[in-house]
């Protein structure tokens, strides 16, 4: 089964240990699987789209207004209500959301350094660097896999990895990377800018897209201008405008906002379906994970485990290899827990339309491969 492009981009919580076995045992495992289990194809992720999203997007196209417009404003309003923020700004990616949120904080504070986890997708660190900040790498808690709070750095960017809540208890400004987490009222009363991703694999997807939630009119007004070149338009629909500051091109389409509105209505039921799958995995694999975006296990022989799962028709992914050890950074900093987890984490299939039979098949296959050891 070919790997979808989104698995090449990126893709939190009580891992299990998986180890290699001798070659003849692997051959026996393959024989058992082939003999006793009918092979199924289980993708890593699949957007929960149906005719509702198709019709909403089609209606937006037929309206003749396809760029940022009334549906974008409606999506922002409804999303803000859901997460409990006063305002929300729809942008073209979670990456752009991070960048604009960091840049907003730069207008308020003298920022030079950003404290970020290494166990995350590249965008978390990249956007701090693009904003001219030096990255200070932080280690993570082994159970939650989220950034350990520290006083270092002028700004902190904790990641709610796999859907686990990261601590936001910092004395410095905080930008929350909430690409993996979107919950009812999670931004209520927060002083932070919270950044969401609506990428293809996310709990709420518009294919591509992101959102910034905030609770101050000042931040909201700046972000609305920043996402569209820093342009300040005169009220009343006047074509006359001024460029208030050097901004970015990060606005989003009404077509995708239309999809987002449908997804937002479905979100509570999609989260319940994800929670049911996580519960089945926990019971079947003896774990206690609680994040609803990714379901991690741990392997001492990750390559072999992923290969055997693929032979059984099950697509897995890796979240994440440590950023600070990658070529672009090559940091000499030792992050013991990050490097341990990053060397063996594997994410299992998890998506709302995953069937009970598919979940059971994944669990049975892991057990039959017999590369697992409890922590």
User: Tokens 């208890």 label which residue?
Assistant: 169
Instruction: For residues 246 and 279, state if they share a domain.
Output: no
Task: Examine the fold and report which residue of 238, 259, 280 is the final residue of a domain before the chain moves on.
Answer: 259
Are 103 and 249 in the same domain? yes
Q: Per the domain annotation, does 236 fall within a domain?
A: yes
Mapped onto helix, strand or coil, the DSSP state of residue 71 is helix
Overall domain count for the chain: 2
Residues counted in the chain: 375
Tokens 């991703």 — which residue? 197
Looking at residue 177, which CATH number applies to its domain?
A: 3.40.640.10
Instruction: Determine, yes or no, domain membership for 1.
Output: no
Tens of pLDDT along the chain (375 residues) come to 444 444 444 443 444 444 555 555 556 555 555 555 689 999 999 999 999 999 999 999 999 999 999 999 999 999 999 999 999 999 999 999 999 999 999 999 999 999 999 999 999 999 999 999 999 999 999 999 999 999 999 999 999 999 999 999 999 999 999 999 999 999 999 999 999 999 999 999 999 999 999 999 999 999 999 999 999 986 667 889 999 999 999 999 999 999 999 999 999 999 999 999 999 999 999 999 999 999 999 998 999 999 999 999 999 999 999 999 999 998 999 999 999 999 999 999 999 999 999 999 999 999 998 765 553
**248 shares a domain with 306:** no
Q: Is residue 341 part of a domain?
A: yes
Verify that 227 and 293 share a domain, yes or no: no
**Among the listed residues 250, 211, 168, 226, the one whose alpha carbon sits nearest the alpha carbon of residue 75:** 211
Domain range for 122 is 51-259
Q: Tell me the pTM.
A: 0.91
Same domain, 126 and 43: no
Enumerate the H helices of the chain as residue ranges: 6-9, 23-36, 51-63, 70-83, 94-108, 122-130, 217-226, 254-285, 302-311, 336-342, 356-369
Do 308 and 296 belong to one domain?
yes
Q: Is the dihedral of CA 192, 198, 199, 201 positive or negative?
A: positive
């Amino acid at each position: 089964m070919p790997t979808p492009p989104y698995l090449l981009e990126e893709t939190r919580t009580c891992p299990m240990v998986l180890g290699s076995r001798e070659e003849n045992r692997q051959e026996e495992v393959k024989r058992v699987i082939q003999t006793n289990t009918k092979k199924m194809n289980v993708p890593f992720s699949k957007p929960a789209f149906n005719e509702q999203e198709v019709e909403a997007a089609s209606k937006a196209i037929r309206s003749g207004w396809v760029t940022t417009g009334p549906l974008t404003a409606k999506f922002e309003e409804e999303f803000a209500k859901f997460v409990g923020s006063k305002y929300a700004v729809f942008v073209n990616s979670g990456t752009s959301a991070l960048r604009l949120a960091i840049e907003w904080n730069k207008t308020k504070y003298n920022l030079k350094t950003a404290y970020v986890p290494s166990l995350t997708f590249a965008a978390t660190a990249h956007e701090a660097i693009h904003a001219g900040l030096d990255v200070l790498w932080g280690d993570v808690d082994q159970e939650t896999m989220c950034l350990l709070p520290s006083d270092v750095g002028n700004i902190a960017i904790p990641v709610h990895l796999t859907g686990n809540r990261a601590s936001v208890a910092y004395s410095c400004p905080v930008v929350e990377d909430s690409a993996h987490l979107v919950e009812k009222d999670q931004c209520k009363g927060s002083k932070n800018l919270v950044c969401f991703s609506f990428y293809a694999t996310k709990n709420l997807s518009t294919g591509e897209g992101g959102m910034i939630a905030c609770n101050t009119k000042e931040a909201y007004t700046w972000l609305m201008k920043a996402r569209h070149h820093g342009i300040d338009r005169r009220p009343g629909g006047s074509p006359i405008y001024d460029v208030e500051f050097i901004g970015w091109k990060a606005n989003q389409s009404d077509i995708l906002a239309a999809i987002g509105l449908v997804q937002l209505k479905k979100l509570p039921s999609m989260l319940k379906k994800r929670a049911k799958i996580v519960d089945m995995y926990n019971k079947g694999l003896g774990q206690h994970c609680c994040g609803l975006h990714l379901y991690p296990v741990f392997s001492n022989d990750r390559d072999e485990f992923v290969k055997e799962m693929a032979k059984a028709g099950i697509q897995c992914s890796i979240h994440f290899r440590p950023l600070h050890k990658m070529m672009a950074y090559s940091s000499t900093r030792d992050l013991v827990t990050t490097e341990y987890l990053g060397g063996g984490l594997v994410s299992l299939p998890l998506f709302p339309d995953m069937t009970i039979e598919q979940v059971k098949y994944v669990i049975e296959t892991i057990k039959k491969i017999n590369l697992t050891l409890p922590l």
